[in-house]
């Protein structure tokens, strides 16, 4: 902006504040703009206030807030401020304050910064609902966009882009383009934020916005980096090619970027690296980073192949990323630590991943919610890599003050970590947990014991004995859970456990939890030949109580009856028929169906089909033992640290992490030519492009090169060439529209 | 990223809402209330919830829920960390984070939220930067403001945001230049029934209060940095320097901040300052129980143990406690079933003891598990790991600052199983 223009604007601004209505002096552009809108603004708002009063009648707290309008229109700044504070208070409470819109919007050009900020808050909240009135404020922001103070420019852009009114899209686009080339990195940062806002308002602008993103990605300021990568992730996450040239720069800037930006950049780079580098996880790979030279020198295909088969050589850029993210493990921001941890998990050679362990364990000292997320991720990691967390096993010991979901997660991890060496320690720890007053947790512990018992065969008997002891526990849920787990365990090795089954039969009368009763009945039926005397007796008792049982128990009674009938029909024939008759008239159709099915299957009659012969083989077939698995088994299909991982379903907008490419893509795309520092920003981009094309295109394609060169300079330089003048025209058109609208409102309310 | 924020109080009323993108109706919170109902305890509400169109990520702090609405994939920790930062900022500005305080300062809180996020992406979360833009209320300032019509919004613009050191504002001036460092260590431990240590470790934090003029460049070095196993730093600390020389070199933020947190390597045996002898038993008949707790000093390095309290979360069936304490006094909260014995200073000559009987609900079964004891204590002028600051130097400014280092040992999560 030239000094003349600036001066003109100052004059013009001061007039605005004193309420002067017309201005035909000063810089041409400013004058036109001012002439267009300063009159209607004041009058329009005044008229709007009348409208507000009319709407106000319908508001419920009309009486209480009646004075707000008057206060907003008064000349005293303190009154206005007071009123605005109350209005913001209303917004905060979620009450509707939209009828004050005209009165508020009038104050948008006020000098008082606090008042201004509050008006901005109001505008952003209600502009979407009152689109036409919101247009009144646009010109103020347009003017502020040219302010010499970078903060005023930035905040104007911030508010302008937050007003979700489709009609101003061209104005926003122009403003973003201009701000993206601003001298101040802070304004450029704001423009990166504005890109996302415009994109969500009007996705059709994508192509133009990608151009701006491309330009901003080249920015060397740490302030901009995080925000522009965020914009990249929202607008065009698939345009990975835009990153190539900036990859090394982003890696090097990373440590100095603000913490929130770090998180976004790291997760983007994780995705990038998975598409550009080859896997460092090859079996038996040797890790040798020092013979890069040899790699580059070996020209013949044969040699190269040999090399690859023998040693894996990490791409220096891959190494750069790992090296530059490592210090961030020491960040105080838990999100940053987690994102570095996931980067190492997904990208680093297996033996290097262990460095993240300590930092993750450190996060467990943080808030409850942080613990929850970190524990979830550790649970997933610990399934694949027990060794990583085993030395820190004690950090996952449960305290009675932990909340239930933290306790269950810790339990999950402890179970994952169990092996032959530490199982006795873990089981001793579990013994304490079983006694916990938190019954849901005690039940989870019993399941965990079951899992340990199946995974580690040495302790199966010990666990089983322990669980049998729990059967005499007074708490129902504990007993029920134990029965269920014992059932599963017996299934895995049913040979010599008739004692336990007998014991359970004895306890049967005292157990009331349906699931547990059903489990015992199933066990009886399955192993009825091992307890030939007890099983028929149990069936006799069940025949008596059949009608009073829960549905799942009834189904198992029918099962038991059928199995006994097949093995010991002498004793149980009548009982079975009685039970099948009861089942036939049960209220639940599931049970009726099952009864009918069983009857056809086992009771021989002339109608019964071929299946009858196989009844025994069907019902008493050896059944595969259930596999007790961690709930986190399949979680690793999601990238660690993501929302999808946490919920275990794909969240909207989740970007799949691609598999490593089999052959590394061209590394040279990341090479950046050294450019001597140039002061102006926009031309620099043009030059860079030209140089790039120099390299890429050979002399026989000069035409193309020139075309590209002129294209880029055209779109970059918004003040001169033809492409930008169309934008200017659009902008003028909208201004005109605003003007006409204001006139209409003005006339309407006068009438 | 973060779409909206709702603040919800203990009883489930939304008392503040803020939207950074288009407005989302309050009804989205119903899913949260449902989960809250199910969880019974507020701590048990899952921090991440899924609803048909949105994802709800919440934190529970100071009896308030900070509930944020998210529409697309975002690292959940990112949101959680930010929500805690909001709570920290409120705490920092108004001294406490409660419904009353937020309601009283609703405009300031709203202005803060406006500055902290832009379109759902964090913009200014550094307390120094925020304080430049929106001044925290003080009594003096509010009086002046009412008289002159001034405001809390700074008319200077935040310079910190532009510099490469966003945590420090430019032009800081003090008449008394001082830098204080508090080395605070917490002992986390689990002791089992017989008093043997199941698990013990030391976590430390260095809190700093630096009021220095200009742009001072400080270095802090330790006598025995080898003790430190794992640490996290304030962004101001130069990590390279620490890696190579084990020296903390930094340009400090102005005012109070956390310089670093650390974990003492687990090779070292943790010296527990106290031992606990306890005997809690519930009799099979007669619905009553006995309680006998004695605490004595173990390894206190010649310092006195202060602020000693014992907290017991009793089983639900315990109706009342009839106890006598040789030192301090005890309270038993009937509603929450929490017994607190406040001992105060530990006298090695005469060990404090609490004994007596507990009466249980008649007819209720005997509790299976004895309640665990949570112990808090403080030891002044001692870092239990033995960590010592050797020196603090200042470069870049000419004056001589006043320097001080304080040590404190506390019990962190110190639990005795019975």
Using the beta-carbon criterion (under 8 Å), do B190 and A85 form an inter-chain contact? no
Place of tokens 């032009």: B171
Asked if A428 is an interface residue toward chain B (Cβ–Cβ < 8 A), one would say no
Q: Within an 8 Å CB–CB cutoff, is residue A138 touching chain B?
A: no
Judge whether residue A143 has pLDDT over 60. yes
Give the three-state DSSP class for A239.
coil
List CB contacts (< 8 A) between B243 and chain A.
327
- Contact at CB, B190 and A365, closer than 8 angstroms: no
Find, in chain A, the residue whose alpha carbon is nearest to that of B114: A121
CATH number 2.60.40.1170 is the correct assignment for the domain at B274-380? yes
The verdict on A696 touching B (C-beta cutoff 8 Å) is no
Count of other CB atoms within 10 angstroms of residue A446? 27
Closest partner CB to A651 (pick from B26, B73, B261): B73
A372/B46 CB distance under 8 A: yes
Is there a contact between B42 and B83 (Cβ–Cβ < 8 Å)?
Answer: no
B18 with A92: Cβ contact below 8 A: yes
- Could you say which of B70, B374, B417 has the minimum Cβ distance to residue A401? B374
Choose, out of B22, B119, B233, B316, the residue to mutate when testing the contact with A (most A CBs < 10 Å). Answer: B119
Q: How far is CA A475 from CA A53, A550, A565, A747, B45, in A?
A: 67, 20, 34, 80, 25
Six token digits for residue A280: 């460092």
Tell me how close the Cα of A650 comes to any Cα of chain B, in angstroms: 9
The minimum CA-CA distance between B400 and chain A, rounded to whole Å, is 30
Dihedral sign computed on CA atoms, order B28, B31, B34, B39: negative
- Find out if CATH 3.30.450.60 is the number for domain B2-148: yes
Interval B394-400 mean pLDDT: 87
Task: Name residues whose C-beta falls within 8 Å of residue B37's C-beta, 6 or more positions apart in sequence.
Answer: none
Whole-number Å distance between alpha carbons of A249 and A270 = 15
Q: Give the best-scoring range by mean pLDDT among A76-90, A139-153, A407-421, A693-707.
A: A407-421
Give the least confident one: A347-356, B264-273, B324-333.
B264-273
pLDDT at A736: 63
Residue A47 CA to residue A102 CA, distance in Å, equals: 8
In A, which residues are within 8 Å of B22 by CB distance?
Answer: 128, 164
Nearest chain A residue to B14 by CA distance is: A93
Q: What is the pLDDT of residue B8?
A: 92
**Inter-chain CB pairs, A–B, below 8 Å:** 233
β-pairing, B247-250 with B217-222? antiparallel
The tokens of A648 are what? 């275990």
Question: Are residues A660 and A274 in contact, defined by beta-carbon separation less than 8 angstroms?
Answer: yes
User: Between A122 and A11, where is the model more confident?
Assistant: A122
Show me where the domains of chain B are located.
Answer: 2-148, 178-269+384-416, 274-380
**pLDDT at residue B353 is higher than 70:** yes
CATH number for domain B178-269+384-416, candidates 3.40.190.10, 2.60.120.330, 3.40.50.300, 2.60.40.1170: 2.60.40.1170
Higher pLDDT, A288 or A676: A676
Q: Tell me, yes or no, if A185 comes closer than 8 A to chain B by beta carbon.
A: yes
Q: How far is CA A671 from CA A246, A248, A371, A747, B392, in A?
A: 9, 9, 41, 63, 44
The number of beta carbons lying within 10 Å of the beta carbon of residue B244 is 9
Contacts of A653 in chain B (CB under 8 A): 71-73
Residue B218 pLDDT grade (very low, low, confident, very high; cuts 50, 70, 90) = very high
Q: For the CA atoms of A86, A91, A97, A98, what is the dihedral angle to 10 degrees?
A: 130
The number of angstroms, rounded, from the C-alpha of A390 to the middle of its chain's C-alpha atoms is 28
Q: What is the pLDDT of residues A81-123, one digit of tens each?
A: 888 888 888 888 888 888 888 888 888 877 777 888 888 888 8
Q: State residue B159's pLDDT score.
A: 58
Determine the pLDDT at residue A292: 41
Asked whether this chain's domains B2-148 and B274-380 adopt the same fold, the reply is no
Neighboring chain B residues of A337 at a CB cutoff of 8 Å: 232
Q: Model-level pTM?
A: 0.80
Nearest CB to A362 within list B75, B234, B263: B263
pLDDT, mean of residues A677-683: 45
Cα separation, B65 vs B63, in Å, equals 7
Residue that is written with structure tokens 């005795």 in the block: B416
Q: Tokens in use for A313?
A: 């050589």
DSSP symbol at A419: -
Q: Which residues of A touch B70 (CB under 8 A)?
A: 643
**Which chain A positions have a beta carbon within 8 Å of B367's beta carbon?**
437
Q: Which residues pair with A31 in a beta bridge?
A: none
Lowest mean pLDDT across A371-385, A494-508, B213-227, B321-335 = A494-508
- ipTM for the whole complex: 0.89
Q: Enter the tokens of residue A575.
A: 């009982």
Q: How many residues does chain B have?
A: 418
Parallel/antiparallel/unpaired status of strands B48-50 and B14-19 = unpaired
Tell me how far apart the alpha carbons of residues B190 and A425 are, in angstroms, rounded to a whole number.
14
Q: State yes or no: pLDDT of B299 exceeds 90.
A: no
Q: Judge whether A330 is closer than 8 Å to chain B, CB to CB.
A: yes
Residue A271 has pLDDT above 60, yes or no: yes
A53 Cβ under 8 Å from any chain B Cβ: no
**pLDDT value for A608:** 58
Q: Do B17 and A94 touch (CB under 8 A)?
A: yes
More confident call, B311 vs A723: B311
In the predicted model, is pLDDT for residue A230 greater than 70? yes
Q: Which residues of A touch B47 (CB under 8 A)?
A: 368-369, 372-373
A575 has a pLDDT exceeding 50: yes
For the cut 70, the answer to whether the pLDDT of residue A189 exceeds it is yes
Question: b vs e for A246-266, b when ≥16 Cβ sit within 10 Å of the residue's Cβ?
Answer: bbbbbbebbbebbbbbbbbbb
Residue A170 has pLDDT above 60, yes or no: yes
Q: How far is A161 from chain B (nearest CA, A)?
A: 9
In the block, residue with structure tokens 């006409």: A740
- pLDDT of A726 reads 53
Interface touch B81/A89, C-beta < 8 Å = no
A202 touches chain B (CB under 8 A): no
Which of chain B's residues have a Cβ under 8 Å away from the Cβ of A359? 230, 232
Cβ of B46 and A121 within 8 Å?
no
Q: In the prediction, which pLDDT does B153 show?
A: 59
Query: In the numeric block, which tokens belong to residue A668?
Result: 């040279």
Q: How confident is the model at residue A45 (pLDDT cuts 50, 70, 90)?
A: very low
Distance, in Å, from the CA atom of A52 to the CA atom of B176, rounded to the nearest integer, reads 55
Q: Decide if pLDDT at A621 tops 60.
A: yes
Segment B163-210, tens digit of pLDDT: 667 788 777 888 889 999 999 999 988 888 888 888 888 889 999 999
What's the CA gap between A379 and B160, in Å, rounded?
Answer: 40
What are the chain A neighbours of B231 within 8 Å (beta carbons)? 330
- Name the residue facing A369 among B47, B73, B263 (closest C-beta): B47
The CA distance from A299 to A321, in Å, is 27
Distance CA B221, CA A687 (A): 48
A249 interfaces chain B, CB cutoff of 8 Å: no
Mutate to test the interface with B, among A643, A649, A655, A657 (most CBs of B within 10 A): A643
High-pLDDT (> 90) share of chain A, %: 13
> How much is the pLDDT for A98?
82
Three-state DSSP class for A147? coil
Task: Tell which residue, B164, B170, B148, B151, has the closest CA to residue B107.
Answer: B151
What is the distance in angstroms between the Cα of A124 and the nearest Cα belonging to chain B? Answer: 9
Residue B233: which of A256, A332, A404 has the nearest Cβ?
A332
A158 touches chain B (CB under 8 A): yes
CA distance A337 to A363: 8
Partner residue facing B313 (CB), from A331, A335, A400: A400
**pLDDT value at B408 more than 90:** yes
The whole-number pLDDT of residue A53 equals 40
Beta-strand (E) ranges in B234-316? 247-250, 255-264, 274-282, 288-297, 306-313
Q: Which residue of B has its CA nearest to A194?
A: B119
Q: What is the mean pLDDT of chain A?
A: 76
Render pLDDT for B100-115 as a digit per residue (tens, 0 to 9): 889 888 888 988 898 8
From the list A117, A194, A437, the residue facing B315 with the nearest CB is A437
* A653:B413 CB<8 A: no
Q: Which residue among A92, A399, A641 sits closest to B77, beta carbon to beta carbon?
A: A641
Candidates B81, B371, B418, partner chain A, best to mutate (most A CBs within 10 A): B81
Instruction: State the DSSP H helix or E strand holding residue A92, giving kind and residue range, or none if neither.
Output: helix A77-92
Domains along the sequence of chain A with CATH: 64-268 (1.25.10.10)
- Which member of A258, A334, A403 has the closest CB to residue B81? A334
**Which chain B residues are Cβ-neighbours of A648 within 8 angstroms?**
none
Task: Name A538's Cβ contacts closer than 8 Å, sequence gap at least 6.
Answer: A505, A508, A521, A524, A560
Q: Enumerate the residues of chain A whose CB falls inside 8 A of the CB of residue B46.
A: 372, 405
Cβ pair B403, B177 in contact under 8 A: no
Residues 6+ apart with CB under 8 A from A256: A222, B164
Residue A204 is given by DSSP the state G
| Number of other CB atoms surrounding residue B125 within 10 Å | 21
Per-residue confidence band for B33, with pLDDT thresholds at 50, 70 and 90: very high
In sequence order, which residues have a C-beta less than 8 Å from that of residue B214 and are 6 or more positions away? B172, B173, B396, B397
């Amino acid at each position: 902006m030239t000094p003349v223009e600036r001066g003109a604007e100052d004059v013009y601004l001061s007039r605005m504040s004193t309420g002067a209505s017309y201005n035909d002096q000063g810089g041409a552009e400013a004058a036109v703009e001012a002439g267009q809108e300063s009159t209607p603004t004041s009058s329009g708002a005044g008229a709007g206030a009348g409208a507000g009063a009319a709407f106000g009648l319908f508001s419920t707290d009309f009486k209480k807030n009646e004075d707000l309008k008057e206060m907003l229109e008064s000349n005293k700044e303190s009154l206005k401020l007071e009123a605005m504070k109350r209005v913001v208070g209303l917004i905060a409470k979620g009450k509707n304050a939209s009828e004050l819109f005209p009165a508020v919007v009038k104050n948008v050009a006020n000098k008082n910064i606090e008042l201004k900020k509050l008006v901005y808050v109001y505008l952003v909240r209600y502009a979407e609902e009152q689109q036409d009135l919101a247009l009144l404020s646009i010109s103020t922001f347009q003017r502020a966009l040219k302010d010499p103070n970078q903060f005023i420019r930035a905040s104007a852009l911030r508010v302008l882009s937050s007003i979700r009114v489709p009609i101003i899209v061209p104005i926003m686009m122009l403003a973003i383009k201009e701000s993206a080339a601003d001298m101040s990195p802070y304004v450029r940062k704001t423009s990166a934020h504005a890109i996302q806002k415009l994109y969500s308002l009007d996705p059709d602008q994508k192509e133009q916005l990608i151009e701006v993103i491309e330009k901003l990605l080249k920015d060397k300021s740490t302030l901009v980096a995080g925000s522009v990568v965020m914009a990249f992730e929202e607008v065009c996450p698939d345009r990975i090619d835009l990153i190539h040239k900036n990859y090394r720069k982003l890696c090097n800037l990373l440590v100095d970027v603000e913490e929130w930006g770090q998180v976004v950049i790291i997760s983007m780079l994780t995705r990038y690296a998975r598409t550009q580098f080859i896997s460092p996880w090859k079996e038996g790979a040797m890790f040798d980073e020092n013979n890069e030279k040899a790699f580059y020198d070996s020209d013949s295909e044969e040699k190269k192949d040999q090399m690859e088969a023998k040693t894996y050589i990490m791409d220096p850029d891959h190494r750069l990323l790992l090296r530059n993210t490592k210090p961030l493990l020491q960040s105080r921001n838990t999100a940053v630590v987690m994102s570095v941890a996931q980067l190492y998990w997904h990208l680093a050679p297996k033996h290097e991943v262990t460095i993240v362990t300590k930092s993750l364990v450190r996060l467990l000292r943080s808030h409850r919610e942080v613990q929850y997320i970190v524990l979830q991720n550790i649970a997933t990691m610990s399934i694949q890599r027990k060794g990583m967390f085993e030395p820190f096993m004690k950090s996952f010991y449960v305290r009675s003050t932990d909340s239930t979901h933290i306790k269950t997660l810790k339990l999950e991890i402890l179970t994952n970590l169990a092996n032959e060496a530490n199982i006795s320690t873990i089981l001793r720890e579990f013994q304490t947990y079983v006694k916990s007053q938190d019954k849901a947790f005690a039940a989870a512990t019993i399941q965990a014991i079951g899992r340990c018992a199946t995974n580690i065969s040495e302790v199966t008997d010990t666990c089983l004995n322990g669980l049998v002891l729990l059967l005499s526990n007074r708490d129902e849920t504990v007993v029920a859970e134990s029965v269920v787990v014992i059932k599963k365990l017996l299934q895995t090795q049913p040979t010599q456990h008739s004692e336990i089954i007998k014991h359970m039969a004895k306890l049967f009368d005292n157990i009331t939890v349906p699931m547990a009763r059903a489990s015992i009945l199933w066990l009886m039926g399955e192993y009825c030949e091992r307890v030939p005397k007890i099983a028929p007796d149990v069936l006799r008792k069940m025949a008596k109580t059949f009608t009073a049982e829960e549905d799942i128990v009834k189904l198992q009674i029918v099962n038991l009856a059928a199995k006994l009938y097949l093995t010991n029909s002498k004793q149980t024939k009548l009982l079975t028929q009685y039970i099948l008759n009861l089942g036939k008239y049960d209220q639940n159709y599931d049970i009726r169906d099952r009864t009918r099915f069983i009857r056809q299957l086992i009771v021989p009659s002339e109608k019964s089909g071929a299946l009858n012969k196989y009844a025994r083989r069907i019902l008493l077939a050896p059944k595969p033992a259930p596999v007790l698995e961690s709930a986190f088994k399949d979680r690793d299909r999601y990238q660690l640290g993501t929302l999808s991982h946490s919920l275990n379903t794909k969240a909207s907008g989740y970007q799949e992490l691609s598999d490593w490419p089999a052959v590394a893509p061209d590394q040279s795309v990341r090479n950046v030519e050294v450019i001597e520092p140039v002061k102006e920003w926009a031309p620099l981009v043009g030059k860079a492009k030209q140089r790039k094309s120099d390299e890429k295109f050979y002399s026989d394609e000069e035409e193309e090169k020139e075309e590209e060169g002129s294209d880029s300079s055209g779109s970059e330089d918004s003040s001169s060439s033809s492409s930008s003048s169309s934008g200017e025209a659009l902008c003028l058109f909208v201004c005109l529209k605003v003007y006409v609208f204001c006139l209409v409102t003005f006339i309407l309310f006068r009438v | 990223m973060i779409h909206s924020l709702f603040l919800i109080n203990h009883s489930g009323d939304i008392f503040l809402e803020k939207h950074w993108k288009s407005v989302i109706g309050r009804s989205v919170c119903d899913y949260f209330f449902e989960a809250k109902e199910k969880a019974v305890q507020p701590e048990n509400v899952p921090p991440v919830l899924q609803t048909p169109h949105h994802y709800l990520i919440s934190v529970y702090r100071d009896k308030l829920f900070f509930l944020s609405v998210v529409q697309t994939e975002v690292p959940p920790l990112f949101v959680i960390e930010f929500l805690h930062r909001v709570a920290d900022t409120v705490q920092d500005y108004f001294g406490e984070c409660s419904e009353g305080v937020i309601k009283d300062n609703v405009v300031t809180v709203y202005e803060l939220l406006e500055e902290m996020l832009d379109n759902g992406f964090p913009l200014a979360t550094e307390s120094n930067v925020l304080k430049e833009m929106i001044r925290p209320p003080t009594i003096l300032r509010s009086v002046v403001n009412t008289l002159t019509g001034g405001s809390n919004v700074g008319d200077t613009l935040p310079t910190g945001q532009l510099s490469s050191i966003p945590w420090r504002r430019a032009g800081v001036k003090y008449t008394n230049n001082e830098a204080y460092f508090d080395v605070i260590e917490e002992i986390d431990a689990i002791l089992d029934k017989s008093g043997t240590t199941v698990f013990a470790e030391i976590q430390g934090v260095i809190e700093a209060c630096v009021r220095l003029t200009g742009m001072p460049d400080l270095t802090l070095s330790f006598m025995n940095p080898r003790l430190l196993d794992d640490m996290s730093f304030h962004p101001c600390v130069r990590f390279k320097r620490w890696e190579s020389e084990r020296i903390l070199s930094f340009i400090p933020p102005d005012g109070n901040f956390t310089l670093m947190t650390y974990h003492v390597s687990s090779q070292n045996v943790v010296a527990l300052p106290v031992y606990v002898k306890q005997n809690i038993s519930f009799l099979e008949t007669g619905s009553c129980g006995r309680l006998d707790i004695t605490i004595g000093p173990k390894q206190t390095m010649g310092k006195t143990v202060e602020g000693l309290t014992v907290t017991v979360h009793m089983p639900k069936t315990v109706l009342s406690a009839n106890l006598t304490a040789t030192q301090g006094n005890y309270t038993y909260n009937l509603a929450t079933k929490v017994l607190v014995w406040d001992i105060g200073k530990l006298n090695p000559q005469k060990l404090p003891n609490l004994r007596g009987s507990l009466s249980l609900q008649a007819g209720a079964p005997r509790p299976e598990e004895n309640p665990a004891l949570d112990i808090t204590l403080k030891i002044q002028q001692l870092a239990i790991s033995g960590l010592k600051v050797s020196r603090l130097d200042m470069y870049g400014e000419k004056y001589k600052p006043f320097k001080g280092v304080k040590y404190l040992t506390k019990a962190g999560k110190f639990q005795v199983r019975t």
